[in-house]
Amino acid sequence: MQRLIFHVDVNSAYLSWEAARRVSQGLDDLRLIPSAIGGDPAKRTGVILAKSIPAKRFGVRTGEPVASALRKCPSLVLARPDFRLYVKNSRAFADVCRRYAPVVEQVSIDECFLDMTGTDYLYPDPLRIARTIKDAVRDELGFTVNVGVSRNKLLAKMASDFEKPDKVHTLYPEEVAQKMWPLPVGELFSVGHATAEKLRRGSIRTIGELAAADVRVVQRLVGVSMGAQIHAYANGVDDSPVAAEAEAAKGYSISTTLEDDVRTAESAKQILLALSDSVTAHMRQEGRRAACIAVTIRANDFKNRSHQRHLENTTDVTDEVYAASASLFDELWDRKTPLRLLGISLTDITDEETAQLSLFQDEKRERARKRDQAVDAIRRKFGSDTIVRGSTLHSAGSVGRKYRAQAEDDRQLPGDDEPWD
């Protein structure tokens, strides 16, 4: 039985979801005008997360500063990110996919793999059912997707990246030479900018040239493991399965790229507090705890540096994660070099605590955990800005507030002796 794999990818997800909401309210369709998602429209700060096709014609690029985008396109309409909206639409589009596919793997907020193998009696025409799924998302939810159709995940994903939006494309193995090999090598899945540059320096400029190259030559250019993988991908080879259920998270992480360089420990720790709040809330929601904490910083030399620490006991308590993160940060930063990025990673994940504490420590931890859970519940019901940590809200500096929106779920929590706002 031949495999049949679909890759369903939302077209410019963040912008499409905001546009669909505005259209439902009788407002202009952001997809039809120069527009973008990102940063703070009032302050004109932050970076572009998604852009419309009309904005792209002005040269607006995903990832560039908002200020730069506005210089290219002064009439650019900006909207702030809304992660609650994104999660709602992500779940809705995945639910549409599950109506038609026996196995669905949601690999990110805006893309799913569908294993349609064995459905030929139900859906004898793969292109017809692909269009049915595409049209159902558009007609029911108000935004568009591309669907790539092939025999494996790699080729289905490559196909979904062909002409957009609202399209269905095939890339069967017999079509690789015609449709994929002429593309620049940088368009191959998993080949980033740095890898593509190394390949070009080795006179490998297209995916076809990579496919035809001696794998040993490729490995000398980009490394043994990476070389073998991208050589196989260039030849359309991929046997990875579509996983019906995602594996339990092996770790949780969050980071923020800073709009302005951070130069004081006080400002950096306000950001670490917001990040600790966000990542622990995610972990608590899934009933997990961590035994290892790592802090990453990036200075203006663009090199990441990190320290980690193993804890005596697993934790999901915001204050404990923040305290460990602040301590690691103190060990890591030289107090001189301006910072461009801060991040926290939690690993050694378990479902239950693996160590016993003293009675006093248990009682204190339980109070902290119950407080965290109560705040989580309030925020889920009334919004993420309902409660903020008093020390951050009333701080003379505004860094905590400035970067709160970039910390995924926009969470900040009060400590034991701090006021609630």
Nearest to 238 by CA among 5, 71, 70, 1: 5
Domain co-membership, 44 together with 73: yes
Predicted model pTM: 0.62
What is the per-residue pLDDT across 339-380, written as a single tens digit (0 to 9) for each? 988 999 999 888 754 333 333 346 677 777 778 777 777 766
Q: Kindly state whether residues 399 and 300 are assigned to the same domain.
A: yes
Domain boundary among 35, 65, 83: 83
Kindly state the tokens that stand for 171. 């890339």
State how many domains the chain has. 3
Q: Looking at 49, 66, 83, which one is the last position of a domain?
A: 83
Same domain, 341 and 282: yes
Alpha-carbon distance of 33 to 28, in angstroms, equals: 8
| Structural domain of 64 | 14-83
Cα 187 from Cα 204, distance rounded (Å): 13
User: Is residue 388 domain-shared with residue 256, that is, in the same domain?
Assistant: yes
Q: What is the reported pLDDT for 122?
A: 87
Q: What is the pLDDT along the chain (421 residues), one digit of tens a residue?
A: 799 999 999 998 999 999 999 999 999 999 999 999 987 666 666 788 889 999 999 999 888 888 899 999 999 999 988 888 988 999 999 999 999 999 999 888 899 999 999 998 889 999 999 999 999 999 999 999 999 999 999 999 999 999 999 999 999 999 999 999 999 999 999 898 889 999 999 999 999 999 999 999 999 999 999 999 999 999 999 999 998 765 556 788 888 877 678 889 998 998 999 889 888 888 888 888 898 999 999 887 777 889 999 888 889 999 999 999 999 999 999 888 899 889 999 998 887 543 333 333 466 777 777 787 777 777 666 655 556 654 443 333 333 333 333 333 333 333 333 333 3
Is residue 205 domain-shared with residue 259, that is, in the same domain? no
Q: Are residues 325 and 396 in the same domain?
A: yes
List all residues 6 or more positions away from 387 whose beta carbon is below 8 Å from its beta carbon.
375, 378, 379, 412, 413, 414, 420, 421
350, 355, 357, 359: CA torsion to nearest 10: 90
Q: Is residue 20 part of a domain?
A: yes
**CATH number of the domain to which 203 belongs:** 1.10.150.20
Determine which helix (DSSP H) or strand (DSSP E) holds 375, and give its type and residue range: helix 359-382
Model confidence pLDDT, tens digit, residues 317-331: 999 999 999 999 999
Q: For residue 276, tell me if it sits in a domain.
A: yes
CATH value at residue 320? 3.30.1490.100
Last residue of a domain, one of 83, 102, 130: 83
Q: Are residues 282 and 397 in the same domain?
A: yes
Question: Are 265 and 364 members of one domain?
Answer: yes
Active centre residues (catalytic): 111
CA distance 401 to 418: 17
Please check whether residue 409 lies inside any domain of the structure: no
Sheet of 252-262: strands edge to edge? 252-262, 339-350, 289-299, 304-315
> Is the residue at 375 inside a domain?
yes
Report residue 386 as tokens.
Answer: 């309902």
- Please indicate, yes or no, if residue 147 is contained in any of the structural domains: no
pLDDT of residue 257: 73
Give the domain CATH number at 27: 3.40.1170.60
Give the pLDDT score at 178. 97
Torsion of CA 356, 361, 366, 371, to 10 degrees: -140
Q: 302 and 195 in one domain?
A: no
| Residue pair 297/303 in contact by the 8 Å Cβ criterion | no
Q: Give CA angle at 83 (82, 87), nearest 5°.
A: 130
Mark whether 258 and 388 lie in a shared domain. yes
Bridge partners of 298, per DSSP, are: 304, 341
Are 298 and 343 contained in the same domain? yes
Kindly state whether residues 217 and 300 are assigned to the same domain.
no
What are the phi and psi torsion angles at 169 (to 5°)? -130, 145
Establish if 89 belongs to a structural domain.
no
Question: How confident is the model at residue 160, as a pLDDT?
Answer: 96
144 falls within a domain: no
Q: Output the pLDDT for position 388.
A: 60
**Residue 100 located in a structural domain:** no
